Amino acid sequence: MNDTDVLIVGAGLSGVGAAYRLQQERPGDRYAILEQRAAIGGTWDLFRYPGVRSDSDMFTLAYPFKPWRGEKSLADGESIRTYIRDTAREAGIDRHIRFDTTVHSADWSSADQRWTVRTSQGEWRAKFVYLCAGYYSYDQGYQPAFPGLADYAGTFVHPQAWPEDLDHAGRRVVVIGSGATAVTLVPAMAETAAHVTMLQRSPSYLTALPPRDGLADTLRRRLPAGTANRIVRAKNIALSQGFYQLARRRPKLVRGALRKMALRFLDEHAVDEHFTPTYEPWDQRLCVVPGADFYKAVQAGTASVVTDHVDTFTEKGIRLRSGAELEADIVVSATGLQMLPLGGLSLTVDGAAVTLGDTFSYRGLMLSGVPNLAYCIGYTNASWTLRADLSSRYVTRLLTHLEKHGYAAAAPTAPASAERRPLLDLTSGYVKRSIANFPSQGVEQPWQVQQNYVADLIQMSRADLARDMRFTPAHSLQEA
């Protein structure tokens, strides 16, 4: 059996960042990263659809310890994948990764003060488990059962499993969906397709951002990369958090501004019908369109939007509820992800199964009643890495605290109030479908997950590690 101090699950953006922090802060710790796939990069290696890119800026999505040197602020998937791999290689993290190793379960034994982790490649023992396994299933995306799909003679694809050899040049494409993936795919495919139609049940909010960051371009010419990066990062954090707060507090104002942006490219009728959502900005994630590429494709007539429902697939395409028919050579089902908590692991503590839906999230990174285990999730309203990095730094602080005080284990107790709130506050379909399987958040600190980087930055670095935490001394099993 393999034995280590810290076992990280997942070699994506978070797992590599976690390993970096561990190496820096706790160089004496042994660690390994277990990764089910054959490559580093997680999301940025898996998704290969045309145009795949970030929709948050790379100055905040990149690690604070490794400046983003790419030209574009909204970067393509391949550049992000390369950036994560370079980070892993340069820091020697890649030597710690065990690929093709799926983690199935983790069992905590208070008697051993260790986790036993079962994987597709045998068992591991570890003092601490850090799950950097993302938030969705890698097996397959979310696929609603469309009536008549078996009759369809064209090509039907899901963006999560994009066929490498799919050639869409000169073909008629329908993209079903209205989220970030659909608005990315439409202009990218429209460059060479005969025509691309986005078929949406209901509109989403779109906001256009420049693909390059003007301030970054200027500062990079005059300042060292690290300094330029820090300034642009601070500016982008302030802007994105400021915009989010404005959207939550003055939704009418932001709704008006987004509508005005759409009207620069499309007429009033089109904006009313296809770009006026029924919910408020940031009830669901805002879709970013770099350089207004989506609007420009619709304006140019290479793409169009239909707001309607699939009635049934036919041999040639899709019949809509309105009776209209969309003929298509290729249908892309950009219908989203299947959310999956904690990499799908089953957990036990001293033989008792942990039901995630019954647990509370402690500071958005540990679970009530579960010792020596943390998980890494990002923000919904800002770049993932902002929160992921705070979590990883918190974990290293906790490990140092355990060592300093001679503790073997730390387990969050239960919150004083049993009132529950969903972990994520988005109303998007993919969140609503599965949020009950995730831990809940409580109604006060340290049991709340706030979507506020600045508040987290202040609180997490100074947080009282002992608050609502039960420690077990290493030499005995008595409680501290």
Ligand X SMILES: Cc1cc2nc3c(=O)[nH]c(=O)nc-3n(C[C@H](O)[C@H](O)[C@H](O)COP(=O)(O)OP(=O)(O)OC[C@H]3O[C@@H](n4cnc5c(N)ncnc54)[C@H](O)[C@@H]3O)c2cc1C
Name the one range near ligand X by CB under 6 A: 126-134, 409-417, 420-428, 464-472: 126-134
Q: Which two tokens stand for residue 449?
A: 């997950």
Measured distance CA(219)–CA(216) in Å, rounded? 5
Question: Does the N-terminal peptide bond of residue 446 adopt cis geometry, omega within 30 degrees of 0?
Answer: yes
179 part of the interface to ligand X, by CB under 6 A: no
Q: How far is the CB of 203 from ligand X (least distance, A)?
A: 20
* Sign of the CA dihedral with 393 first, then 398, 399, and 405 last: positive
Candidate list 341, 343, 364, 415; residue touching ligand X; CB under 6 A: 343
Selected range binding ligand X among 273-281, 343-351, 358-366, 467-475, rule: CB under 6 A: 343-351
> Residues 17-56: x/- map of binding to ligand X (CB under 6 A)?
-----------------xxxx----xxx--x------xxx
- Residue 160 Cβ vs ligand X, minimum distance, rounded to whole Å: 8
| CA 73, chain centre distance (Å) | 18
Should residue 378 be labelled a site residue for ligand X when binding is judged by CB under 6 A?
Answer: yes
Question: What letters, b where the CB count within 10 A reaches 16 and e where it falls short, cover 329-361?
Answer: bbbbbbbbbbbbbbbebebbbeeeebebeebbb
Q: Is 175 helix (H, G, I), strand (E, B) or coil?
A: strand
- What's the closest the beta carbon of residue 16 comes to ligand X, in angstroms? 8
Q: Which is nearer to ligand X, 347 or 402 (CB)?
A: 347
Q: Which is nearer to ligand X, 80 or 408 (CB)?
A: 80
Q: Which stretch binds ligand X (CB under 6 A): 145-153, 193-201, 383-391, 398-406?
A: 383-391
How far is 447 from 395, CA to CA, in rounded Å?
Answer: 16
Is residue 107 part of the contact set for ligand X (CB under 6 A)?
A: no
In the complex with ligand X, which residue's Cβ is closer, 342 or 349? 342
CB nearer ligand X, residue 18 or residue 326 = 18
Q: How many residues bind ligand X (CB under 6 A)?
A: 34
Interface residue with ligand X, options 50, 51, 70, 134 (CB under 6 A): 134
Is position 344 an interface residue for ligand X (rule: CB under 6 A)? yes
Distances in Å between the alpha carbon of 165 and those of 128, 140, 169, 280, 361? 42, 19, 12, 39, 43
Does residue 72 contact residue 214 with C-beta atoms inside 8 Å? no
Among 79, 102, 121, 307, binds ligand X (CB under 6 A): 102
Q: Is the dihedral of CA 16, 18, 23, 24 positive or negative?
A: positive
Could you tell me which residues come within 8 angstroms of residue 420 by beta carbon, excluding any fewer than 6 positions away?
Answer: 360, 440, 441, 442
188 belongs to the binding site for ligand X (CB under 6 A): no
Contact 193, 332 (CB under 8 A): no
Q: Which is nearer to ligand X, 74 or 318 (CB)?
A: 74
Using the rule CB under 6 A, which residue among 68, 138, 152, 447 binds ligand X? 138
Pairwise CA distance, residues 303 & 292, whole Å: 13
Which residue number, 11 or 305, has a Cβ lying nearer to ligand X? 11
Confirm or reject binding of residue 424 to ligand X (CB under 6 A): no
336 binds ligand X (CB under 6 A): no
Place of tokens 């494409």: 173
Q: Are 103 and 345 in contact (CB under 8 A)?
A: yes
Residues that bind ligand X (CB under 6 A): 9-15, 34-37, 42-44, 47, 54-56, 61, 102-103, 132-134, 138, 181, 343-345, 376, 378, 383-384, 388
